[in-house]
Structure 1
Amino acid sequence: MNMLNEITELSRPMFTEPLVLIEARADGTRILRSGIPLPDTYARCVGEWLEHWARVTPERMFLAQRGADGAWIEVSYGEARQRVVRIASWLLGQNLSPERPVVMLSDNAIEHALLMLAAMHIGVPSCAISSGNSLLSKDHAKLKGNIELLRPGVIYADPVERFLPAIEAIRHLHNGVVVAGGGSARVDGTIPFAELEGEANEAAVMSAFARITPDTIAKFLFTSGSVGTPKAVINTQRMMCSNQKAKELMWPVLAEEPPVLMEWLPWSHTFGSNHNFNMVLRWGGSLYIDEGKPTPAQIARTVANLKEVSPTVYFNVPRAYDMLVPLLREDKVLRDNFFRRLKFIFYAGAALPNHLWSALEDLSEESTGKRILMVSSWGATETGPMATDCHFRAVRSGVIGVPVPGTALKLVPAADKMEVRVKGPNVFPGYWRQPDVTAKAFDDEGYYMIGDAVEFVDVVRPALGLVFDGRVGEDFKLLTGTWVHVGSLRVAGIDALKPVAQDIVVTGHDRDEIGFLVFPNIPECRTLCPNLPPDAPVEQVLTNPPVLSRVRQGMAMMKNLGGGTSTYPARALLVAEPPSVEAGEITDKGYINQRAVLNRRADLVAYLYADVPDKTVITVHGAV
């Protein structure tokens, strides 16, 4: 970055300077708080934001999605509010309550958003359930568990014909009505969505709206199931509104220009729903619904959308950036349109490997003359979602920031880690209809025990932030008694094995040495194989000498850093079958579920550790 750009950036700070207050206890526990106070008063409920923008900027575009003809269908704030009132009027006649909520089986869509907002406008909880539970599962076991717990009064599906097997599988578990989205075919026994948008009863809706309190249940969101059985997390209006107030205090840049997002992250997850959707609504921004996803089959849709719409802020998971970086590098039109208005890039779900961090900085500088700011955050479905936020230029990837205003972090020594626990207005009151599980989730001081670990970037300078240090339950010991820190090792491995490794699962439980199950980036692997035809079978690509050599080089580099046997893999195996969403190996956020992969692919782990390794097992011994 040249000096003029550096001065310009520093003269117009986008974020509030971080300030951390620390209380140290005799037992080694530390309590961390933000030095930025959270006011006692802020929005009562999410609906206040919709009411405000519908009154102040009724013509501004709020939501957009592609229609059947490929053109953008747009809904303004004024239109959204009118439609919300009509839908809410219909919902008032359905005998709904927390015991009979609204459930959505649809992917992100305008109707989905309006139904969610309408339910919240009258104090009725909604719950978006991952479409994978309906469309990818053969036995619908997770979906049955979801519905049996919630007993919904309304189930929305779009297009309903895609969801018919799932709807039939849960028919005996509820007595609600099934609403078919506007893009559906006519199906007997369902109500068309258009019927919900009949006559408005403004007085009745606003009467219900006035009765909403900060403790009103706004949503149920299911945990991903990456650890244990999915649970329905109670999300209150207070949780969501306090989170956005904290965001306002840390990100003054949001007040300068209404944010524009191109967004695929599912509303069945707290990141896409509570963080991103609510941020757009809070600031009167515009959200373009991206029908693409970070998969080989769907990334082209995201690229096409990003060539048309220039976001001001971009949120995504590391897997998506891994796919986007090569495309940004080779396509100047895409690159220039992507970075044209972009203020910063936000990554979440896992640490961003260093090579992707550097590539995004380089590409932004090439396009705009300045390095893009890279930020992140940390939290959970149970924390609404933010507990920490990196509202500053981090010294490196993986920094999750500092406590957000109003939130306290309790750092408790655990083995050779610091377990982190959370308390604040953003923390959930409990799991729906699971009081025993709820009681076990909090310690004796009322801190939510999230199960994650963190460490300081620099313990002497806490304002530099915390680094995510993996899940306490994911780490393990080798037979030598040495701890293996899975989270940091996984990220280091992806970086060292670039461009081959798209993701890695760390093995070595009850073993003498670490192994890697490597999920490869197939297009990048093909670039290493000029001797093969472009359509060569995947198995041939993964056994090609240049690919194997690149993996060995990366393994050797990790070993030569000299950190000991817990810091490098002695064995690695390239896995041709990609991680399965249906089997829970990939979560809704797009990151790897370490435990699910190890359980499902136990045979590969055994194969990896055979006394005499097969030729497909790559070993570090003798690598150069």
Structure 2
Amino acid sequence: MRDFPWQYRGGVVVTDHCGRIKLQPDTPRPSFAPWKPEFRIEERSDGSILMEQTEPLDAYPEKMTDCLLRWAAEQPERTYLARRVKGGDWREINYRDALAAVRSIGSYLLSIGLDPSRPVLILSENSIEHALMALGAQYVGIPSAAVSPAYSLISSDHGKLSDLVANLQPGLVFADDGEKFAAAIKAILKPGMHLVVCEKEPSGGGGVHFDDVLATEATQEAEDACRAVNADTVAKYLFTSGSTGSPKGVINTQRMMTSNQAMVADCYTFLREGPPVVVDWAPWNHTASGNKVFNMILYHGGTFYIDDGKPTPVGIQETIRNLKEISPSWYFNVPVGYDMLAKAFEADAELCASFFRNLSMMMYAGAGMAQHTWDKLKQLARKTTGHDVLLAAGLGATETAPFALMCMEPQESAGNIGVPSRGLVLKLVPNEDKLEARLKGPSITPGYLNDAEQTKKAFDEEGFYRLGDALRPADPEDFTKGFFFDGRIAENFKLSTGTWVAVGALRAGFIDHFSGLVKDVVIVGENRHYLAALAIPHEQHVRELASDHFEGKSLAEVLDSDIARAAFQEKLTDFAKSATGSSTRIMSMIAMAEPPDLDKGEVTDKGSINQRAVLRNRPELVDALYNGRPDVIEA
């Protein structure tokens, strides 16, 4: 592993008695990364374009647990993971104790007969125990799979969870809270499967307590197994969110994860200036946090503060509490979360100062960021710190580990997702009037678990992974200035006139124009003569139109009010007037009172809308948009 010495300009990083990382007050802030890579760009006779950085990717370790061994030796007392005890202070574990726990867990897993063909299934939300269980399995070469808690706690029939288990064939099920996950455990636990819980064993018992696992004596067998783990060893399976179909088990090898972190380190050069600190809520069953953020901390010997908050009106309060106490050096949220935080920053100077104090970068993903949110965050950063803090987006997928494209230059507006990372080759293939993106490199998955057919479909004849996304260059004459997301290839359609509709860009524009009243939208119009929309309202913002008037009323009653209808009417009319043609002009809409349904596949566990599933399941709403109904709003 390449050793990046930490050099602090004019100051030092210190730790308190708990090993908690703190910057001395006089330490100058890191500058923007001097990230000006050079590219080879090849235009082929078939219209396709290849783009890659000229410099090769730096060396990287063979496996992620090499990083744990490194930091346990070099910084044993430094806090690695922390999570609040309910209603109390932070509970922490340092690198030395984390390694000891991982060795015990690995030894236990081998002692009960687990091997690569019998993985560990993790049902829990983010927790210290969750992290240790996954790393313990990795340490001895046993894959794990963290599955969305929504499949256990929200789904009424556990259908998706049962399908995943049938594919995975786990040898052990781990749940932080046996009682909370009792129904899911009952639905999937079969003879021969082991069960480990941290608290509240499910009725009927049968589980082993996590403390007993930690008490297992570390064995030479575990050390031998660790040495046998190599770059091709499967580290985990991550199941796709199902936004474009049924969830698939994406194979994640050690090489994928370690090479991806080398790409991150090359791009986020400020990570070399000091151990990163994150306060992060995003679930580890998704690649964004479960791979990129989690491994970023381990790779650089930083501290991960597990945030039990969420970007919801109630959950954001816990995030605010945590950010008031812990100042991150790198921060991620989805656009709706940033929108909530921006309002909180304006109302609370102490919170705003804490958030920006040590911050080098803000990243957003999951949806397009509204321009008003972007502008507010940039303004708050300048006002609080006296300089810009980079606010950026990127593009990746579960199959790319996920870091692939990233914007590292300040922009005047939201949306630029940057250029391909070092070590990756981007292939742009003409598809109708779009450029379809494909990728090749060491961080790309070898395929899907027990699904040769989908694996074959995922790659083209040259071995490039098909992202399924279209990209639009920020400057058609200079691709090095980055790209904009130009929609999912599978979502685009034609009007009855033959005109193509780019759904991704249109969705983003619609959401931005409605200034917070809409959090997502399904674009309607395939084989119709004009466009319409099924809008998913942002309930909190809609109620804020007249909070006193709407008190005690249901969302359906709020949406049916003259106040709400007038607000939507005004926005829709203005949006239609700004259209450049039939492919961008939305003529009617319905604000949906009934939210998208997880069990029906209309929404993924991370909140992404499956456009085609909504259209398939709600034909009566689609018909109403064109045939008239009282709740239809027309431009």
Please give the TM-score of this superposition, normalised by the length of structure 1: 0.93
CA displacement, residues 296-340 of structure 1 (integer Å, 9 cap, x when unaligned): 342222222222222111112223223333333333333222222
Q: Does 1:619 align with 2:634?
A: yes
SS of equivalent residue, structure 1 residue 609? helix
User: How far 1:423 moved relative to its partner?
Assistant: 0.7
CA displacement, residues 130-154 of structure 1 (integer Å, 9 cap, x when unaligned): 1111111121111111111111111
Task: Find the counterpart in structure 2 of residue 317 from structure 1.
Answer: 334
The separation in 2 between residues aligned to 1:200 and 1:588, in whole angstroms, is: 38
Please tell me whether the aligned partners of residues 275 and 302 of structure 2 are also in contact (alpha carbons under 8 angstroms).
yes
Task: Find the counterpart in structure 1 of residue 273 from structure 2.
Answer: 256
- The 3 A distance-change label for structure 1 pair 579 and 309 is farther
SS of equivalent residue, structure 1 residue 218? strand
CA displacement, residues 54-79 of structure 1 (integer Å, 9 cap, x when unaligned): 11111111111121342211111111
Task: Find the counterpart in structure 2 of residue 609 from structure 1.
Answer: 626
Q: Within 5 A, what are the aligned runs for 1:469-488?
A: 469-488=486-505
Q: Does 1:277 align with 2:294?
A: yes
User: How far 1:9 moved relative to its partner?
Assistant: 11
- The 3 A distance-change label for structure 1 pair 601 and 337 is farther
The separation in 2 between residues aligned to 1:187 and 1:302, in whole angstroms, is: 36
Please tell me whether the aligned partners of residues 292 and 302 of structure 1 are also in contact (alpha carbons under 8 angstroms).
yes
SS of equivalent residue, structure 2 residue 181? helix
Please tell me whether the aligned partners of residues 513 and 570 of structure 1 are also in contact (alpha carbons under 8 angstroms).
yes
- The 3 A distance-change label for structure 1 pair 587 and 60 is same
SS of equivalent residue, structure 2 residue 393? strand
What amino acid sits opposite 2:382 in the alignment?
A: E
User: How far 1:582 moved relative to its partner?
Assistant: 4.3
- The 3 A distance-change label for structure 1 pair 281 and 15 is farther
**Larger deviation: 230-239 or 86-95?**
86-95
Task: Find the counterpart in structure 1 of residue 593 from structure 2.
Answer: 576
Please tell me whether the aligned partners of residues 15 and 251 of structure 1 are also in contact (alpha carbons under 8 angstroms).
no
SS of equivalent residue, structure 1 residue 371? coil
C-alpha RMSD of matched pairs (Å): 2.1
SS of equivalent residue, structure 1 residue 127? strand
SS of equivalent residue, structure 1 residue 233? strand
The separation in 2 between residues aligned to 1:11 and 1:237, in whole angstroms, is: 30
The separation in 2 between residues aligned to 1:10 and 1:107, in whole angstroms, is: 34
Task: Find the counterpart in structure 2 of residue 19 from structure 1.
Answer: 38
Task: Find the counterpart in structure 1 of residue 109 from structure 2.
Answer: 91
Please tell me whether the aligned partners of residues 425 and 439 of structure 2 are also in contact (alpha carbons under 8 angstroms).
yes
Q: Within 5 A, what are the aligned runs for 1:210-609?
A: 210-529=227-546, 532=549, 534-609=551-626
Q: Within 5 A, what are the aligned runs for 1:40-51?
A: 41-51=59-69
CA displacement, residues 456-477 of structure 1 (integer Å, 9 cap, x when unaligned): 1002121110111111010111
What amino acid sits opposite 1:619 in the alignment?
A: E
Task: Find the counterpart in structure 2 of residue 4 from structure 1.
Answer: none
Structure 2: segments with no counterpart, 5+ residues: 1-26
User: How far 1:448 moved relative to its partner?
Assistant: 1.1
Please tell me whether the aligned partners of residues 152 and 175 of structure 1 are also in contact (alpha carbons under 8 angstroms).
no
User: How far 1:273 moved relative to its partner?
Assistant: 0.7
User: How far 1:595 moved relative to its partner?
Assistant: 2.4
Task: Find the counterpart in structure 1 of residue 18 from structure 2.
Answer: none
Q: Does 1:80 align with 2:87?
A: no
- The 3 A distance-change label for structure 1 pair 458 and 57 is same
Task: Find the counterpart in structure 2 of residue 30 from structure 1.
Answer: 49
CA displacement, residues 258-282 of structure 1 (integer Å, 9 cap, x when unaligned): 1111111111111111101000111
User: How far 1:203 moved relative to its partner?
Assistant: 2.8
The separation in 2 between residues aligned to 1:197 and 1:186, in whole angstroms, is: 23
Please tell me whether the aligned partners of residues 354 and 495 of structure 1 are also in contact (alpha carbons under 8 angstroms).
yes
The separation in 1 between residues aligned to 2:573 and 2:598, in whole angstroms, is: 32
**Larger deviation: 597-606 or 225-234?**
597-606
The separation in 2 between residues aligned to 1:395 and 1:333, in whole angstroms, is: 27
Please tell me whether the aligned partners of residues 497 and 550 of structure 1 are also in contact (alpha carbons under 8 angstroms).
no
- The 3 A distance-change label for structure 1 pair 223 and 296 is same
Q: Work out which of the residue numbers 173, 188, 213 in structure 2 matches 1:155.
A: 173
What amino acid sits opposite 2:633 in the alignment?
A: I
**Larger deviation: 155-164 or 368-377?**
368-377
Q: Does 1:53 align with 2:71?
A: yes
The separation in 2 between residues aligned to 1:161 and 1:470, in whole angstroms, is: 42
The separation in 1 between residues aligned to 2:231 and 2:210, in whole angstroms, is: 29
**Larger deviation: 392-401 or 213-222?**
392-401
**Larger deviation: 337-346 or 262-271?**
337-346
The separation in 2 between residues aligned to 1:540 and 1:326, in whole angstroms, is: 27
SS of equivalent residue, structure 1 residue 315? strand
- The 3 A distance-change label for structure 1 pair 452 and 335 is same
What amino acid sits opposite 2:368 in the alignment?
A: A
